[in-house]
């Protein structure tokens, strides 16, 4: 066919001729932000990280100490476990909401979006205290379960890992729902229909078409929630149990002890773990697309 | 080291009062309205000057009280312009002195944290005691690089509706889960310190023999109560909230929070015996450009009447023994510095903590996670 | 095979390779507004039927109801005699081609085409063979490993076609499948689809707003307007004997003359159009005095003095040329009749025709057999 012959000439990857103007323009546009980030963010962070190897003397002693530090290992484990639990929780709760939003009429979707974003407008502290009130043994949840006859004695919810997970999932949900619904909304509505017409059941349509096409959103949301969860501080301190110490809390404690090099060392480890995770995600096929959203 | 307020203000916890989640704080604010304040008598020429002074406090209601009590009068009476900032922080002082960019002339800290930082280098100016009313300020309140300016207390508080009228007195009672059943909370080692003093007193150490603390004994004592402590808190708002919600029946608290709680109608009370007498202190960062003005202000703010003015506004005590005469009797009864309360408290030993803090926190971390 | 999966059709059990469809009083209202207002239609096995109409006419809604994506508010849809109301789309076993191809962007061409086979539990080896066969059928052999984004629009639509027929459905629905393509490509694909239709022998229901496309491809056309079928018939019938002014103007170009019935003569209507007597075909006898609109196609009209005169009975009117446009294969004239009516006339270009000048007074003629009362 004639068009087949013509089309093979079209390059699969569009390349643009490099013109000097494009570069100058780009540098002028991005330059101020880059400069700002370097001076006010990158340099201070580097200076802080440098302490981890320069104090008290130039060595990796701080890091070798970490490897044998049972407190660090425990706290690092708690931090990772909490971040994983919160990420999985937000994904499981957030995906159906995002999916429903993508299928709603625009006005209804806007309303849901506002409800999803509502927690954003309240301070993280107020939300954490609200969970203290809700999860307490004389709090709303226990009182309701007692009144309903489900329980005889109140459950211990507050000051447990459950409380940390619940409160953090609540706080993190918007970070999962927003990228997910943005990606889901971009999926051509004809695709699920096409799949159904081709014999796919509702579950088949979801698993074979909607889910794979929403992976960029899943990855973006997962990374966002996971990385933010690694650095959580206030919520675990307020609603967590005695053993729910997160890395950020340990860092704050060490800063207060004027133990800056050790704190820097902990921060470097947290940063390294985060970067490692991002790098690993880049290697998963199909995930690179998550970082190209909106470019296509 | 004593982080009664700074942790709070640094994390903007005080915003909670405005948000309504902390009713006690709303009541607390109401307490400070419309109180008649004693007039400050004329000051000597040595306390007057020119130029300006930059003061960093812990922010919030406490700093509002300080402003009314002595920032504003000082400016009027000395001719020195005062600017005050929230967010006083030991690490910031270190960074300022390290970089030679000292933005605060007077900082609200504690004797302990000042001692800690002095171990890392020459970070503070010596207090000029020539100007200070030393005759009426206890020696325990004075140290080379810091002078106490606000007295408060870390005490036991309990639900009055929990024990059928029985009143817990002293930490042995707090540790006695048979006589006083129910969940408890205590200070943890976040930005602050765990209160080993309570643990050793519970184990039978006399209040005047607490220091030097037997660390092994303290942790052995902690072992006995660990199962009943549902929360090792890191910020003063938490025990108050949990007491309000009946989540715990016994807890350690900052005394200032309790007045507000009681004013809000929560059936809770302070048991003063064997509480810790703690203090905030003024310190002057090294190479402060307004060092002379700073010393004048420090002398002024620790005088009897300025101290009494703060105590009239918030339930925090005075370091000046002549202040009591200027505080209304009803308010005086709430102050940890009032004579019949002070005698039941154990003065916190900032020096001991300065020496042992790293060791205790490291051990604490292992103990709490075990 | 899972019971919820659609089964491969056992063609042997049914007469013909294509499905028979009947739509009975089909209605669809969206929030009270009728999109489809009573469509009844029998589509024969192996027929190529086109739903033709302007946008918003209800043609796509009708198609979506057949596919199962919309539930009728009223009426029935039966495929091979069995009502499919309530049957979900994935159990209807209908092939469907969408306007924007709806290829799965994350799957290769082979995976796209293999998709319906996978749903039906066809094993991998068979799938590979069937995919290759259907790619050959749409003349894209060897494209298995490509991704949709690596194909042109025309190629994508052929893959979509292959995907819609690979599982051997008895019915293929197409929703403006060529709408996004340029004219040349569209024409070549039209031929392709005719060929496919002939090869497969299955029933095609095709939705378009392009009357030329409908005329070229269809066995029958249902002209849909405002949720109803305005006229149903073979392309020639619709073109030559439009039953309404809407159909006459929607399909091709038409001239309309207003007149009053003067009588019937040998089965023809005799009408008076502003003093000129015009004869026209009528589906039924009309009463004298009835006001009628007569229509005829511009290319069926001639200048009365042309070198290629009409035979048989003619109508004639006098008119003045107001515009003349040369358009390659033909010349297009705009004329004004004596009563002021605008008339369009198309004359094939050639050595034997004389170009008329603007302002020239002339007489035009056309066959009575090409004149219809609408």
Region B250-261 average pLDDT: 89
Q: How many domains does chain A have?
A: 1
The residue assigned the tokens 């002293």 is: B170
Tell me the per-residue pLDDT of B132-143, one tens digit each, with 9 for 90 and over: 999 999 999 999
Q: Give the pLDDT score at C338.
A: 83
Give A26's pLDDT tier (boundaries 50, 70, 90). confident
**Separation in Å, CA of B100 to nearest CA in chain A:** 17
Spell out which residues of chain A touch residue C98, defining contact as CB-CB under 8 Å.
190, 193-194
B7, B228, B234: best mutation site toward chain A, by most A Cβ within 10 Å? B234
Q: Do chains B and A touch (3 or more CB pairs under 8 A)?
A: yes
C289-342: per-residue pLDDT in tens? 899 999 999 999 988 887 677 778 889 999 999 999 988 888 999 999 888 889
User: Least CB-CB distance to A188: which of C100, C119, C184?
Assistant: C100
Q: Which residue has the tokens 């899972």?
A: C2
Side-by-side strand order, sheet with C21-30: C33-43, C21-30, C74-79, C82-83
Q: Please name which of A127, A130, A131, A119 lies closest in space to residue A158, comparing C-alpha atoms.
A: A131
* Domain B28-151+279-336 in this protein, CATH class: alpha beta
Confidence of residue B63 (pLDDT cuts 50, 70, 90): very high
A237 is a domain residue: yes
Instruction: Examine the pLDDT at B7 and tell me if it is beyond 50.
Output: no
* C106, C115, C119 ranked by CB distance to A212: nearest: C106
Residue A58 within a domain:
no
Separation CA C244–CA C373 (nearest Å): 8
At residue B3, the pLDDT reads 41
Q: Which two tokens stand for residue C211?
A: 């009357």
- Pairing label, strands C255-265, C291-296: antiparallel
Q: Which of B364-368, C5-9, C183-187, C290-294 has the lowest mean pLDDT?
A: C5-9
Q: Specify burial of residue C79 (Cβ count, 10 A radius: 0-12, 13-18, 19+).
A: buried
Counting as contact any 3 or more CB pairs under 8 A, the partners of B are A
- Interchain CB contact of A28 with C (< 8 Å): no
CA distance C370 to chain A (A): 39
Smallest Cβ–Cβ distance between C154 and the set A3, A188, A191 belongs to A3
Percent of chain B exceeding pLDDT 90 equals: 81
Which pLDDT value is given to residue A274? 87
CA–CA distance, B177 with B163 (Å, rounded to integer): 11
Residues 6+ apart with CB under 8 A from B355: none
Give how far the C-alpha of residue C97 lies from the chain's centroid of Cα atoms, to the nearest Å: 16
pLDDT at B31 over 80: no
Nearest CA in chain A to B120: A258
pLDDT at residue B24 tops 80: no
Q: Which structural domain, as residue segments, surrounds residue A189?
A: 71-294
Once rounded to an integer, what is the mean pLDDT over residues A269-292?
Answer: 74
- Mean pLDDT, chain C, rounded, equals 90
SS3 C269: strand
Give the whole-angstrom CA distance, residue A212 versus residue A88: 17
- Write the pLDDT tens digit of every residue in C260-278: 999 888 888 999 988 888 9
CB nearest A243 (choices: B120, B246, B369)? B369
Q: What is the pLDDT of residue B23?
A: 35
Instruction: Give residue A5's pLDDT.
Output: 36
Average pLDDT of C132-141? 92
Rounded mean pLDDT, B136-152 = 96
The answer as to whether A35 is a domain residue is no
Q: Give yes or no for residue B29 having a pLDDT over 50.
A: no
For the record, the structure tokens of B178 come out as 């048979």
Can you give the pLDDT at residue A234?
A: 87
Residue A130, chain B, CB below 8 Å: the answer is: yes
Matching fold, domains B28-151+279-336 and B152-278+348-369: yes
For A91, half-sphere exposure in the C-beta direction (CA atoms, 13 angstrom radius) is 19
- CA of C327 vs chain A CAs: smallest distance (Å): 27
Nearest residue on chain C to A296, alpha-carbon basis? C149
Looking at the domain assignment, is residue A66 inside a domain?
no
For residue A76, being part of any structural domain is answered with: yes
CB distance from A200 to chain C under 8 Å? yes
Question: Which pLDDT value is given to residue B272?
Answer: 96
- What digits encode the pLDDT tens for the residues A88-129? 999 999 999 999 999 888 899 889 988 888 877 888 888 888
Q: How many CB contacts within 8 angstroms connect chain A with chain C?
A: 95
Q: What are the b/e assignments for A7-26, b being 16+ CB within 10 Å?
A: beeeeeeeeeeeeeeeeeee
- Find chain A residues with C-beta within 8 A of C93's C-beta: 199
Indicate the residue of A70, A133, A259 with minimum beta-carbon distance to B366: A70
| Contacts C151 to A, Cβ<8 Å | 7
Q: Tokens 């970082």 appear where?
A: A291
Summarize chain B as % helix, strand, coil (round to 5): 45, 20, 40
* Average pLDDT of the residues of chain A: 84
State the ipTM, two decimals.
0.82
A193, C90: Cβ pair inside 8 Å? no
Residue in A3, A197, A208 closest to C89 by CB? A197
The architecture in CATH of the region B152-278+348-369 reads 3-Layer(aba) Sandwich (3.40)
Q: CA C62, CA C71: separation in Å to the nearest integer?
A: 10
Return the percentage of chain C with pLDDT > 90, whole number. Answer: 69
Q: What would the mean pLDDT of B242-250 be, rounded to a whole number?
A: 93
Q: What is the mean pLDDT of residues B11-15?
A: 31
Chains B and C touch (3+ CB pairs under 8 A): no
Tokens of C261: 């019935």
Which residue of B lies nearest to A255 if distances are taken between CA atoms?
A: B91
Please give the pLDDT value at position A128: 84
**What are the sequence ranges of the domains in chain B?**
28-151+279-336, 152-278+348-369
CATH number where A221 lies: 1.10.3720.10
pLDDT in tens, B84-97: 999 999 999 999 99
Q: Across the interface, do A188 and C163 touch by the CB < 8 Å criterion?
A: no
Residue A292 pLDDT > 80, yes or no? no
In a domain, residue A268? The reply is yes
Closest chain A residue to C152 measured between Cα atoms?
Answer: A7
C200-246 tens-digit pLDDT: 999 999 999 999 999 999 999 999 999 999 999 999 999 999 999 99
Q: Which of A44, A121, A125, A160 to mutate to test the interface with B (most CBs of B within 10 A)?
A: A125
Q: Residue B264: what pLDDT?
A: 85
Residue A174 within a domain = yes
Shortest Cα distance, chain C CAs vs residue A106, angstroms: 17
Give the Cβ contact number of residue B16 at 10 Å.
22
Please report how the helices C183-200 and C153-165 are oriented relative to each other, as an axis angle in degrees rounded to 10.
Answer: 20
- Examine the pLDDT at B175 and tell me if it is beyond 50: yes
Predicted model pTM: 0.81
Q: Which chains touch C (3 or more CB pairs under 8 A)?
A: A
> Which pLDDT score, from 0 to 100, does residue A285 have?
61
Q: A226 forms bridges with which residues in the sheet?
A: none
- Which DSSP helix (H) or strand (E) runs through A152? none
Which residues of chain B have a CB within 8 Å of the CB of A250? 365
């Amino acid at each position: 066919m004639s068009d087949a012959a013509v089309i093979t000439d079209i390059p699969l990857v569009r390349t643009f001729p490099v013109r000097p103007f494009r570069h100058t323009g780009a540098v002028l546009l991005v330059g101020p932000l880059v400069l700002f980030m370097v001076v006010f963010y990158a340099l201070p962070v580097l200076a802080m990280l440098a302490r981890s190897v320069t104090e008290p003397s130039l060595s990796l002693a701080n890091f070798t100490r970490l490897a044998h530090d049972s407190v660090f290992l425990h706290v690092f484990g708690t931090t990772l476990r909490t971040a994983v639990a919160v990420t999985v929780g937000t994904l499981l709760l957030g995906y159906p909401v995002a999916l429903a939003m993508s299928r709603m009429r625009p006005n209804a979707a806007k309303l849901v979006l506002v409800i999803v974003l509502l927690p954003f407008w309240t301070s993280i502290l107020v939300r954490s205290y609200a969970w203290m009130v809700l999860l307490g043994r004389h709090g709303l949840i226990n009182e309701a379960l007692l009144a309903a006859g489900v329980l005889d004695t109140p459950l211990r919810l507050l000051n447990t890992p459950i409380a940390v997970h619940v409160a953090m999932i609540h706080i993190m949900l918007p970070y999962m729902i927003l990228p997910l619904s943005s990606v889901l909304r971009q999926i051509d509505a004809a695709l699920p229909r096409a799949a159904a017409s081709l014999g796919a059941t509702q579950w088949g349509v979801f698993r074979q078409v909607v889910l794979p096409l929403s992976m960029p959103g899943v990855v973006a949301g997962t990374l966002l929630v996971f990385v933010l969860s690694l650095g959580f501080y206030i919520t675990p301190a307020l609603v967590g149990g005695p053993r729910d110490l997160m890395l950020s809390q340990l860092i704050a404690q060490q800063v207060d002890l004027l133990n800056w090099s050790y704190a820097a060392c902990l921060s470097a480890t947290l940063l390294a773990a985060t970067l490692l995770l991002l790098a690993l995600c880049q290697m998963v096929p199909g995930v690179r697309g998550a970082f190209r959203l909106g470019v296509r | 080291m004593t982080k009664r307020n700074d942790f709070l203000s640094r994390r903007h916890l005080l915003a909670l009062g405005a948000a309504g989640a902390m009713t006690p704080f709303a009541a607390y604010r109401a307490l400070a309205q419309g109180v008649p304040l004693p007039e400050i008598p004329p000051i000597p020429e040595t306390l007057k000057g020119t130029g300006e002074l930059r003061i960093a406090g812990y922010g919030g209601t406490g700093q509002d009280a300080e402003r009314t009590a002595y920032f504003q009068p000082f400016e009027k009476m000395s001719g020195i312009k005062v600017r005050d900032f929230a967010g006083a922080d030991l690490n910031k002082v270190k960074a300022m002195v390290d970089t030679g960019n000292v933005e605060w002339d007077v900082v609200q800290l504690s004797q302990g944290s000042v001692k800690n930082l002095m171990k890392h280098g020459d970070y503070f100016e010596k207090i000029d005691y020539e100007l200070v009313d030393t005759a009426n300020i206890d020696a325990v309140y004075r140290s080379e690089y810091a002078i106490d300016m606000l007295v408060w207390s870390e005490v036991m508080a309990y639900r009055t509706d929990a024990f059928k009228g029985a009143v817990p007195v002293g930490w042995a009672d707090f540790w006695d889960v048979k006589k006083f059943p129910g969940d408890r909370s205590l200070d943890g080692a976040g930005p602050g310190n765990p209160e080993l003093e309570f643990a050793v007193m519970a184990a039978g150490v006399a209040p005047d023999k607490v220091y030097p603390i037997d660390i092994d004994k303290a942790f052995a004592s902690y072992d006995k109560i660990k199962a009943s402590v549902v929360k090792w808190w890191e910020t003063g708002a938490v025990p108050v909230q949990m007491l309000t919600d009946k989540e715990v029946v016994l807890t350690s608290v900052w005394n200032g929070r309790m007045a507000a709680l009681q004013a809000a109608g929560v059936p809770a009370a302070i048991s003063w015996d064997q509480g810790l007498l703690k203090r905030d202190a003024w310190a002057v960062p090294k190479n402060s450009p307004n060092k002379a003005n700073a010393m004048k202000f420090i002398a002024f703010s620790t005088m009897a009447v300025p101290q009494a003015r703060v105590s009239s506004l918030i339930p925090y005590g005075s370091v000046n023994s002549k202040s009591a005469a200027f505080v209304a009797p009803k308010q005086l009864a709430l102050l940890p510095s009032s004579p019949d309360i002070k005698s039941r408290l154990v003065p916190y030993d900032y020096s001991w903590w300065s020496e042992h803090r790293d060791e205790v926190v490291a051990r604490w971390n292992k103990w709490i996670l075990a | 095979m899972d019971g919820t999966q659609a089964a491969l059709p056992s063609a042997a059990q049914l007469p013909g390779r294509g499905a028979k469809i009947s739509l009975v009083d089909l209605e669809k209202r969206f929030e009270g507004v009728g999109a489809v207002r009573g469509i009844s239609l029998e589509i024969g096995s192996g027929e190529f039927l086109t739903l033709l109409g302007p946008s918003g006419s209800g043609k796509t809604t009708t198609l979506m109801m057949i596919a199962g994506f919309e539930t009728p508010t009223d009426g029935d849809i039966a495929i091979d005699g069995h009502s499919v109301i309530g049957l979900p789309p994935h159990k209807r076993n209908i092939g469907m081609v969408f306007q924007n191809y709806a290829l799965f962007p994350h799957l290769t061409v082979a995976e796209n085409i293999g998709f319906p086979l996978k749903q039906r539990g066809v094993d991998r080896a068979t799938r590979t063979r069937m995919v290759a066969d259907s790619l050959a059928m749409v003349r894209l052999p060897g494209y298995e490993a490509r991704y949709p984004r690596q194909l042109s629009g025309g190629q994508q639509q052929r893959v979509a076609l292959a995907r819609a027929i690979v599982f051997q459905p008895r019915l293929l629905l197409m929703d403006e499948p060529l709408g996004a393509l340029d004219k040349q490509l569209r024409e070549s694909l039209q031929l392709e689809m005719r060929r496919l239709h002939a090869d497969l022998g299955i029933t095609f229901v095709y939705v378009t707003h392009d009357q030329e496309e409908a005329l070229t491809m269809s066995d029958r056309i249902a002209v849909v307007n405002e949720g109803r079928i305005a006229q149903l018939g073979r392309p020639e019938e619709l073109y030559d004997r439009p039953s309404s002014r809407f159909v006459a103007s929607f399909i091709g170009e038409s001239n309309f003359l207003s007149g009053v019935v003067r009588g019937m003569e040998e089965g023809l209507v005799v009408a008076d159009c502003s003093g000129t007597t015009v004869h026209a075909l009528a589906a039924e006898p009309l009463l004298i005095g009835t006001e009628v609109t007569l229509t005829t196609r511009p290319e069926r009209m001639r200048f009365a003095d042309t070198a290629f005169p009409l035979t048989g009975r003619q109508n004639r009117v006098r008119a003045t040329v107001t515009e003349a446009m040369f358009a390659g294969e033909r010349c297009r004239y705009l004329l004004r009749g004596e009563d002021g009516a605008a008339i369009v006339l198309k004359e094939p270009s050639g050595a034997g025709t004389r170009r008329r000048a603007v302002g020239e007074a002339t007489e035009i003629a056309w066959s009575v057999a090409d004149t219809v009362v609408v």
